[in-house]
Chains A and B, each alone.
Chain A
Amino acid sequence: MSHSSAPHDFRAGIDAGLHDTTLRANFRRAMDGLMTKRARQFEDPQEWTRLRALGQEIRQRALSKLPDLLERLEENCTRNGIRVHWAEDVAQANAIILEILQQRGITTVVKGKSMVSEEMHLNAFLGGHGIRALEADLGEYIIQLAGQMPCHIVMPAIHLNKTQIADLFADKLGTSPDGQDAEALTAIAREKLREEFRTAGAGISGVNFPVAETGTLCLIENEGNGRMVTTVPPVHIAVTGIEKVVENLEDVTPLLRLLTRSATGQPITTYVNMISGPRRGADQDGPQEVHLVLIDFGRSRVYADPETRQTLQCIRCAACMNHCPVYVRVGGHAYGGVYPGPIGKILTPQLNGLADYPDHPSASSLCNACVEVCPVKIPIAQMLVRLRNEKAGQGTGAVQDAGSGASRVEDAAWKAWAATYSTPLAYRVASAALTAAGNALPASAPLLKAWTSVRKKPRFAAQSLHRTLKEMGVADE
């Protein structure tokens, strides 16, 4: 299923991102702001260390019992009146939602932010069946108008500045493009969407934490669009990945603290919704039906290997991308796929295959900035190395399209490198040769060219470090 199109061209995306100065300025400003706000929330290193250890433990505990917890979630949701559906792939999930909507004659749905629904290309799918799906989160609303994909999983429209948004609104909504600040633009969206909330046939949302113990769907947000889509329309459909489930209600509390503080530097979001069913008994409002669609989309394959399984601990806070020196320079769209940044680099190739996303594992200097901020301690750098090995056919074959990037030349080069480094004589000969003649190599030499086309050619020192240290009298370097 993965070879339906040409592999994602990351390099073209990188070029486009690097040369777009407006984009780079917009990203730089946004990421600096997010990093500062996050740092203020974790000033006490003791608290940070203990809280993220707890967060990691909760996610690992949940994953260690995943099939049991999913069954328990289903049982408790069902008891609460929530109808639970399962989908192995995008086509199944879309079909489930379409059927729910068509059976009830629903033609307009309002949506809260949901990355899973992006994986499903749900809006386009519903549109193709004559159902209007309207994004209600302000950032998502903006990029839907622009016909784009989110460039960030928490701040989808952060690559656009207010002038660009004012022009977009002018073009699509007929408002004035002049003198519109963030407040005026927000007011325009509020006005447009209020009527949609009031009259939509269904609301579709994601879920941050589905709780097995109580059959509760926790959904966090700042704008109130999540409350609107899960409260006002007669039908609420929630979609979530199978890996998200947590065991107990109390497990939500540390994860919530970690998520909001890591994501936007807030102690808590404006709204934390805990939804445990459609309206019941004498309830005066709330939807008459709540559906939960549990989706796999390749997650069970990621789960099959205990090392790659750690990818599924993710709580989608986006801290890793905010702190990534690559992401901040190339922007979110360069990555293709739904999830950009470090989490995207490890998740996308695992969900969609290394053949389609061959450059994802390599687009990193392994600087570890993401690992240091990840609130659930996912070893992202270690995972990138694992994926590089899998791509080269040097892993266990657990990852989809393992071995698709195997290269005889690369393989031979690394074998030679290993041999040189493990044989003292070979090492001395090679380094002496490079010291003597390395600087004479032209920058356009075949293997050197890929490096020197975007960088200066490195200069070899007049003598090796070994020799220098020996001359300095360092006995045992």
Chain B
Amino acid sequence: MSDARANILRRLRAAPAGLTQPYSDWSVLRDRDWSIDDQVGLFRTMAESVNARVIDCVAPEDASRPLPSWDSVLAEDCAARGVRRLAVSAPLAAPLQALWTGSPNRPEIILTADRDTLFSVDAGLTTARGGIAETGSLILWPGPTEPRMLSLVPPRHIALLRTSRLHPTLWHAMTENGWASQMPTNVVLVTGPSKTSDIEQTLVFGVHGPKDLLILLINDH
């Protein structure tokens, strides 16, 4: 098929020059003067507007704020929603095991990347590398410790997000962290649970991806 390649490129190179744009004004994306509190507020509003659930919490060792620890919020939510088998991301498995040992009524913690197991669990727990205030999006960065399917195939997805990792926009997240030089095989932005409005434009949640998205917002800013 190298002929096709050569033919296409030859035709394109033979075309006369067209419109070029020497300069672009990016200020419409760049200019955001939001405080971190503004960003936290906006993130919550936007995420909730697409049916994500956002619960404020803190790390277990943090006693500086009157907020519950994320593991207890998680345990409560799993109990309330009947989550018995919880697949978790590798870095979270050991801490969660330690925190929950000896407590009754905790879901079973499953550490696996096996496809068929992940298709059968009740929920998947992942970290989030960051968040985007303007759209209420999670930045997921799956890789060696977190399978891609963990946030996709179980019917519920629960994500841990630190408020200190919020960015005003996707453009800020991308440019300030130099994504272009270190893209992993897969980055996913997730904004709310899976949805469709393909039938009469009626909004329905939970098509192929998770039906429920819970964001445990760890206040650490």
Contacts and interface: CB of A to CB of B under 8 A. Distances in A.
Interface stretch (B61-69, B94-102, B193-201): B193-201
Contacts of B18: 60, 63-64, 306, 309
B73 interface: no
Interface in B12-40: 12-21, 24-29
A272 B25 contact: no
Contacts of A30: 200-201
B92 interface: no
A310 B18 CA distance: 9
A50 interface: yes
B129 to A, nearest CB: 12
B146 to A, nearest CB: 8
B93 interface: no
A12 interface: no
B127 interface: no
A190 B135 CA distance: 26
Contacts of A139: 196, 198
A214 interface: yes
Interface stretch (B76-84, B158-166, B169-177): B169-177
B200 A29 contact: yes
B204 to A, nearest CB: 4
Interface string B202-215: 10101111100000
A196 B48 CA distance: 31
Interface stretch (A2-10, A245-253, A441-449): A245-253
B116 to A, nearest CB: 7
Contacts, number: 266
A36 to B, nearest CB: 11
A87 interface: yes
A80 to B, nearest CB: 8
B50 interface: yes
B41 to A, nearest CB: 16
A284 B144 contact: yes
A225 B8 contact: no
B209 A214 contact: no
B188 A50 contact: no
Interface stretch (A156-164, A332-340, A359-367): A156-164
Interface residues of A, number: 101
The prevalent SS among residues of A at the interface is: helix
A371 interface: no
A29 to B, nearest CB: 7
Contact of B174 (A183, A231, A250, A279): A250
Nearest to A37: B201
A148 to B, nearest CB: 14
B21 A64 contact: yes
Given A96-B1, A157-B198, A223-B195, A271 B189 contact: yes
A296 B180 CA distance: 27
Interface string A370-396: 000000000000000000000000000
Contact of B191 (A225, A269, A305): A269
A256 B202 contact: no
Nearest to A222: B195
Given A225-B207, A271-B188, A285-B148, A50 B14 contact: no
- A30, A165, A253, A268: which has the most chain B beta carbons within 10 Å? A268
A149 interface: no
24 contacts: A54-B26, A63-B19, A64-B21, A70-B12, A86-B4, A86-B8, A138-B207, A139-B196, A193-B208, A198-B116, A223-B195, A223-B196, A224-B207, A225-B207, A228-B153, A232-B153, A248-B180, A250-B175, A253-B169, A276-B184, A283-B142, A285-B115, A304-B15, A310-B19
